Structure 1
């Protein structure tokens, strides 16, 4: 290898170094002749003997030079390390607490008006359809007026949403059918067994395992629900099966929803809006086939004549509050796991059961109340060990 160094001086001075691969074991150090003193810029150095790099280093002695970098103290040090903030974690818990409280309050109002409508108008398929239609209309208006930013979706998003919509439609109709046959309190006592369905589905279909205390907490949940069902004064098999089917369907809905929302840019509010619209498309033809417009028209006229104009407000209220409480619940699901969602969904039933018993003067036997209390206690223990 030849290296040519040119010095930008007035005279054409040239230093030529010839380098050959050194033989470290046999190489003899070459001497470098001293530069003859001459006038600046007027010298010429020529080395005829090849100059080995090894000859510039002293044997058995190496020099290691460490240069420390001194940062500019006038500029702040930019370190990208995110430390957990206690303040942000507290704000997150407060936000979730507000979501949960709003969700539960809206759910209580919905159940009260929904039961009033079903008592006067026993058509659960149409009632379920109107609830989805009201929510879909509200969100379309919100998107059109830019109160809410419309979601950016593609075909893949709607394919992922389809199984969620199927489960949501089944669970929604089944719960409404249940409440049309039995008391609101009884429906929600049975639906408090949702954590058991969540664990069984997660264990046997998704392959998830849980510690033994989780399985033990299911014993009072299942036992309490069974005791409450066996001692219910107005027991109805259709109402009981509707609540059980709703439990199973909503567990799948929550699991599919969480998977569908992961990695998506669609927020919880818009996600539920799209879910309502797709469920409305799925439910409408079945509602027409099961009940039919003729039965709806006759039932509507009878309800208006019996209740008066306030019946229309009941229908509007149950439809609007159904969408609002589900929308808030999905805003919560956007930030928590399906199991935590099921826990919150079960704990809310305490307020629904108590309020419905007070408002509708539902007769409750002491043994029935004990069964409900055991089921709720099991839900509390489940929330502590999960």
Structure 2
């Protein structure tokens, strides 16, 4: 009796106690013969084909069943069991050739896949409205809030240079935090851009220093009136440095703005010294230059400084060094005590960081002259807000000045919106 060849590709499986149905004596004699010459078995077994999972047919005409897991025993396992099994085991039905529980040789390891990507933390929204109205509104809110808050803080912390250094410190920390959160990509500067940034930071720090020194030598109303002439310096330097021509309507709209600020701050004796007058004029000139250069840095083709957050993160560390040096030279750092750095000062630094962000963003969208006029309107609104906070008294001329300034600012806004000409910087200035 001949046996059909069975093929298997799997490794040798552990043998289970199994018997073969029937008591054919020819099989027993054939099994003992094959065990005496095991090389014949290996010649008839093809290890490249696996038949352990093929379904067994009980009859010739019976269709195969996919769910049948009992596979016929191989020739080698039959011969081994016939030679070593008892008669009782031979009469019992065979056990399944494949154990329901996979043996160590039947375990299928899962395929190795690339590790699952780490879930990224949600980032802060980086897209803000691009409307000039939105940025001007935010500028007014932060500027008015910081102006009133600064007056309250300086009564308890009379160190303007140190306070400016704290503002720059919060700008540095805030810029680093936003860069880490992915709100902007810190730019890489070349040599020319680094020189321009250092020069601009010096202008920024000197403007603060001159403004604070001049405020000590003149009265506040005189200081506000002279600073109200900043739009005139802005138009002059825009024509001189950038070759920009302002329309006649823009120039006429500045007249009620300057006159209104003068009337709104009238009511105190305009006391000043010649040195104070020169320093106040110098501070006004520096303020106009700072506004122009800020707009120039953020205008095309300067993609490095186009993002206000990126510009603030680059400028704040340099401004911190300059303001700290000024505070040391003026002797403020020797008088500042750790107890003076209260919670009010820290909140003031956070407000200053927010004002810097919206100030740079509004300057890029509105323009240098528009920011100058907005600053003058802010001064008048600060007077109105200070009435309720500090108990100031508004006379008739003060009310007229407030009305003129607000009207001039609205007039300029209408002229600016209807005009297609804006301040364009000379590209070769910083490249």
Task: Find the aligned partners of 2:263 and 2:382 in 1 and give their Cα distance.
Answer: 19
Task: Find the aligned partners of 1:182 and 1:134 in 2 and give their Cα distance.
Answer: 30
Q: Which runs of 5+ in 2 are unaligned?
A: 1-126, 417-431
The reply to whether residue 255 of structure 1 matches residue 292 of structure 2 is yes
2:119 matched residue in structure 1? none
> Which of 247, 264, 273 lines up with 2:302 in the alignment?
264
1:330 matched residue in structure 2? 360
How far is 1:114 from its partner?
1.0
Quick check: 1:99–1:328 contact (8 Å CA) kept in 2?
yes
Q: Can you list the C-alpha shifts for 1:53-87, whole angstroms capped at 9, x where unaligned?
A: xxxxxxxxxxxxxxxxxxxxxxxxxxxxxxxxxxx
Q: Can you list the C-alpha shifts for 1:292-340, whole angstroms capped at 9, x where unaligned?
A: 322223xx75xx5xxxxxx712211221111211211212223343223
How far is 1:271 from its partner?
0.7
How far is 1:166 from its partner?
2.4
1:342 matched residue in structure 2? 372
Change beyond 3 A, Cα 1:94–1:132: closer
Quick check: 1:171–1:250 contact (8 Å CA) kept in 2?
yes
- Equivalent pairs, count: 286
> What secondary structure sits across from 2:336 in the alignment?
helix
The reply to whether residue 294 of structure 1 matches residue 334 of structure 2 is yes
Greater displacement, 206-215 / 311-320 = 206-215
Q: Which runs of 5+ in 1 are unaligned?
A: 1-90, 305-310
> What secondary structure sits across from 2:186 in the alignment?
coil
Task: Find the aligned partners of 2:214 and 2:391 in 1 and give their Cα distance.
Answer: 18
Task: Find the aligned partners of 1:286 and 1:208 in 2 and give their Cα distance.
Answer: 35
Change beyond 3 A, Cα 1:217–1:129: same
The reply to whether residue 283 of structure 1 matches residue 323 of structure 2 is yes
Counting only pairs closer than 5 Å after superposition, residues 173-322 of structure 1 correspond to structure 2 as: 173-176=209-212, 191-232=227-268, 245-261=282-298, 262-266=300-304, 267-297=307-337, 312-322=342-352
Scaled by the length of structure 1, the TM-score of the pair is 0.63
Q: Can you list the C-alpha shifts for 1:68-112, whole angstroms capped at 9, x where unaligned?
A: xxxxxxxxxxxxxxxxxxxxxxx9987332222222111122112
Q: Higher relative CO (CA 8 A, sep ≥ 6), structure 1 or 2?
A: 1
Q: Can you list the C-alpha shifts for 1:331-358, whole angstroms capped at 9, x where unaligned?
A: 2223343223333333344433322222
Q: Can you list the C-alpha shifts for 1:257-291, whole angstroms capped at 9, x where unaligned?
A: 22222323331111122122222222221221013
Q: Pairwise CA RMSD of aligned residues?
A: 3.4
Q: Which has the larger radius of gyration?
A: 2
1:369 matched residue in structure 2? 399
Task: Find the aligned partners of 1:377 and 1:314 in 2 and give their Cα distance.
Answer: 35
Change beyond 3 A, Cα 1:312–1:243: farther
Change beyond 3 A, Cα 1:146–1:218: closer
> What secondary structure sits across from 1:334 in the alignment?
helix
